[in-house]
Amino acid sequence: MTTATDSVELVGEEATGNVARAVLFAAATSATAPVDMVHPLAPNVPITLQTLWVYLAGVVLGPLWAGVAFTLYLLAGLVGLPVFAGGNAGLGVVLGPTGGFLIGFPLAAMTVGAVAHGLDGLTAPDAIPVPRLVLALVAGTAVVYAAGAVGYALVQAIGLVAAVSAVVVPFLPVAGLKIAATVAIARSDAIVAR
Amino acid sequence: MTITVEGYTYRYGETLAVDDVSVTVEDGEFLVLAGANGSGKTTLVRGFNGLLTPDRGTVSVNGRPVEDDPVAARSSVGMVFQDPRDGFVAATVGADVAFGPENLGLSRAAIDRRVADALDAVRMAGRGEERIDELSGGERERVAIAGALAMDPDHLVLDEPFTGLDWAARRSVLARLRGLREEGVGVVVVTHDLRDVAALADRIVVLADGVVAVDDPDPDPAALAERGVRPP
Amino acid sequence: MNLRYVAGDTYVHRLDPRSKLFVQAAVAVAAFAHTTPAGLAALTAFVGGVCRLAATPVTASLRSYRAFLPFLVAGPLVEGATVGAPWFVVADAVTPALASYRVLLLLLVSTAYIRTTRVRESRVAIQWLLPGRIGVVLGAGVGFVLRFLPVLRDDLATVRAAMHARLGAERTLRERIRLIGVTGLRRVFRRADRFALALQARCFAWNPTLPVLSPTWRDGPALLVAVALLAWAAV
């Protein structure tokens, strides 16, 4: 058997591992989209766990590959995979009322990763000091909700204050819960040093 | 086209998984690599095409060390993993089987031909557009085999190919393996259960605690059972 | 299910995916530039035509986006409402209402794209638009995500069922989120490790052979329309 094997540029072992994890994070994010949870204080606000995966990606994959994971998520949705909340997809959704959140995901994942790990090299998630971890998650949350509110205001042509009260304030208590959960997960044995 | 393993040693942290194993797989040979769980058999075969690099020892394919030309080693030694569900790269059968030849940079026409031939070899011809998730367990195993065959390998390594398959599916996979053997493709089956494959085997190698315990064309059943292998 | 590829032979099906992406983007730009009654009326006619050419049913498609309805209604209501008399100023609600209508048009256009374009074609278009290694990662990655969606759906359904079985419903919300994260992460890592190995075994490469996109004369009119939309947007 003869194939011109020297012309094949293999993707290295490390990059292959990172691609695989980015893909699995993107798929997990869309699989968690519908979750039957009800917040006791705000039973009318649906709880979706996409941002939990945004946080986890930043903490586990670091800024570069967390960014890749959620760029993949966004692109997959743009070309029609049913990855957005409610099994939706398409450019119309990204340019729709909640599209700011979707565009905010890659930015937030990168922010969490950059604050938690810095820009050169990764730290084992359970070795990141808790205050730094919390700071990273709060910064990521700020990015997601800022993007979400600005997107809502632009798309619906309404004021920023109205947008914030519609799409940010009701979700903040749950965001706090997710941050607390993420800190606990980063300290658990689900994240083995790699 | 032989696989030559010399002094293969691999540890996971403190645990010695494979301890100084030497074994040769001849061209066209049907070899069964048996052993209990944790005997090191998966760790050993993953070295056959350089997916794992041993801590000590060498692996060569056709006289060439695998690390010198990983592309040649991986096209020459095709690998079908246990639980193929995590090994598929595309949602449909044809797109998945095409993945290997695409990476090898073949022309579109050559890729199409290889996909058609590989699907034909596993009796899945004409089913390229079907979704992998809608196939039965046996069909999935056969598609995984086709994915490896499309690389045009000299040897095909299958890790526990019968796990989770019912009787009919096991028979259909076995029939395909017999067909490959007749066409001169070397087959290495990794298993803890010899009932299905013993009749096809040219040679049976048993690993126990990371070392070769048995290497025999027709081993004594009692010796097998003693090493946690289910005799034929 | 309206939001997936539907095999067919319409004019839009046979367009190059890049032309379709271009037209889609041009419609979006034009819709944001002309969010006026006249502009949106013109675009409504255009989008209606696109849906017809793409064999995309308008009502059924819109129905599948009903989850957006509260957002679309809330905009005009919030802006129109006042704290005291007269309680509602219609003039203030007009702009947000037009904006909501614009969203509907864009949802329809992207539905037509999705229903007429295979993920495989979109993947090649991505790799064409984003050359180099980032294009390989994102193009191949979209294909991989498509493959793993049903797998992860099953996984997380199992996780949730197991949680309920273990009296999970009585735990606090934070604890339940943590459990989903921990169990989900374990599965993600295990699958990613196996998947990476499978990619390596099949020589995952930076320079694979890609399916060829071949534009035809049919793409000419589509490109002209896209350019015209952009020109109109710039006016």
Pairwise CA distance, residues A145 & A164, whole Å: 8
Minimal C-alpha gap between C140 and chain A (Å): 9
Q: Report CB contact under 8 Å: C28, A95.
A: yes
**What number is the ipTM of this complex?**
0.93
Pairwise CA distance, residues C34 & C46, whole Å: 14
Pairwise CA distance, residues A167 & A97, whole Å: 10
Domain B3-226: top CATH class: alpha beta
**CATH for A16-192 (3.40.1350.10, 1.10.1760.20, 3.30.70.340, 1.10.40.30):** 1.10.1760.20
Q: Report CB contact under 8 Å: C147, B87.
A: no
Q: Is B193 exposed, middle or buried (0-12, 13-18, 19+ CB in 10 A)?
A: middle
Write the DSSP assignment of A22-49 as a string of letters: HHHHHHHHHHTSS---B-SS-TTSB---
Omega of the bond prior to C86 within 30 degrees of 0, cis?
yes
Q: Report CB contact under 8 Å: A88, C65.
A: yes
Which chains contact B through at least 3 pairs of Cβ atoms less than 8 Å apart? A, C
Distances, alpha carbon B185 to alpha carbons B6, B45, B113, B176, in Å: 23, 17, 18, 11
State the CB neighbour count (10 A cutoff) for residue C189.
Answer: 18
Q: Which residues contact B218 (CB under 8 A, 6 or more apart)?
A: B204
Task: Answer yes or no: are the C-beta atoms of C73 and C66 closer than 8 Å.
Answer: no
**Given pLDDT bands bounded at 50, 70 and 90, which one contains residue C167?**
low
Pairwise CA distance, residues B182 & B28, whole Å: 9
Q: Report CB contact under 8 Å: C120, B147.
A: no
pLDDT number for residue C68: 85
SS3 B181: helix
Closest CA to C147 of A107, B147, A66, B125: B147
Q: Beta partners for B60?
A: B4, B65
pLDDT number for residue C81: 84
More confident residue, C230 or C165: C230
Q: Among A27-36, B47-56, C119-128, which is the least confidently predicted range?
A: A27-36
Using beta carbons and an 8 Å cutoff, which residues of C are at the interface with B?
119-120, 143-144, 146-147, 150-151, 191, 194-195, 197-205, 207-212
Write the DSSP assignment of B64-131 as a string of letters: EEGGG-HHHHHHHEEEE-SSGGGT--SSBHHHHHHHHHHHTT--HHHHHHHHHHHHHHTT-TT-TTSB
Query: Token digits for C113?
Result: 């794209």
Pairwise CA distance, residues A90 & A110, whole Å: 23
Pairwise CA distance, residues C215 & C211, whole Å: 13
Q: Report CB contact under 8 Å: C72, A76.
A: no
- Closest residue, chain B, to C152 (C-alpha): B86
Minimal C-alpha gap between A66 and chain C (Å): 13
B147 neighbourhood in chain C, CB within 8 Å: 202
A1 neighbourhood in chain B, CB within 8 Å: 75-76, 152, 154
Query: Token digits for A75?
Result: 């692109």
**Given pLDDT bands bounded at 50, 70 and 90, which one contains residue C214?**
confident
> Average pLDDT, whole number, for chain A?
88
Q: Report CB contact under 8 Å: C138, A72.
A: yes
Which chains contact C through at least 3 pairs of Cβ atoms less than 8 Å apart? A, B
B105 neighbourhood in chain A, CB within 8 Å: 4, 7-8
Name the residue among A4, A7, A10 with its Cβ closest to that of B70: A10
Minimal C-alpha gap between A126 and chain C (Å): 14
pLDDT number for residue A193: 45
pLDDT number for residue C162: 78
Domain borders along chain C are 11-117+213-234, 130-201
Q: Report CB contact under 8 Å: B104, A1.
A: no
Pairwise CA distance, residues B153 & B186, whole Å: 9
Task: Answer yes or no: are the C-beta atoms of A58 and A140 closer than 8 Å.
Answer: yes
Domain borders along chain A are 16-192
Instruction: For residue A137, give the amino acid letter.
Output: L
Instruction: For residue C162, give the amino acid letter.
Output: A
Q: Report CB contact under 8 Å: C111, A40.
A: no
Name the residue among A21, A81, A180 with its Cβ closest to that of C192: A21
Q: Report CB contact under 8 Å: B75, A10.
A: no
Convert the pLDDT of each residue in C179-188 to its tens digit.
888 988 999 9
Query: Token digits for A105?
Result: 């995901």
Instruction: For residue A184, give the amino acid letter.
Output: A
Taking only the tens of pLDDT, chain B with its 232 residues reads 899 999 999 999 889 999 999 999 999 999 999 999 889 999 999 999 999 999 999 999 999 999 999 999 999 999 999 888 889 999 999 999 999 999 999 999 999 999 999 999 999 999 999 999 999 999 999 999 999 999 999 999 999 999 888 999 999 999 999 999 999 999 999 999 998 898 899 999 999 999 999 999 988 888 888 888 888 8
Convert the pLDDT of each residue in C81-113 to its tens digit.
888 888 888 888 899 999 999 999 999 999 999
Task: Answer yes or no: are the C-beta atoms of C145 and A72 closer than 8 Å.
Answer: yes
pLDDT number for residue C179: 85
pLDDT at C163 > cutoff 80 = no
Name the pairing type of β-strands B56-61 and B3-12.
Answer: antiparallel
pLDDT number for residue A80: 92
* Triad C80, C82, C86: Cα angle to 5°: 95
Pairwise CA distance, residues C213 & C16, whole Å: 7
Name the residue among B102, B148, B151 with its Cβ closest to that of C208: B102
Pairwise CA distance, residues A23 & C201, whole Å: 18
State the DSSP H helix or E strand holding residue A161, giving kind and residue range, or none if neither: helix A160-167
- Per DSSP, A84 falls in state B
Which chains contact A through at least 3 pairs of Cβ atoms less than 8 Å apart? B, C
Pairwise CA distance, residues B66 & B49, whole Å: 6
Tokens 């292998």, residue located: B229
What mean pLDDT comes out for the span C140-146? 95
Write the DSSP assignment of chain C as a string of letters: --SS------TTTTS-HHHHHHHHHHHHHHHHHT-SHHHHHHHHHHHHHHHHHTT--HHHHHHTTGGGHHHHHHHHHHHHB-SSTTSB-HHHHHHHHHHHHHHHHHHHHHHHHHHH--HHHHHHHHHHHS-HHHHHHHHHHHHHHHHHHHHHHHHHHHHHHHHHHTTGGGS-HHHHHHHHHHHHHHHHHHHHHHHHHHHHHTT-BSS---PPP---TTHHHHHHHHHHHHHHHH-
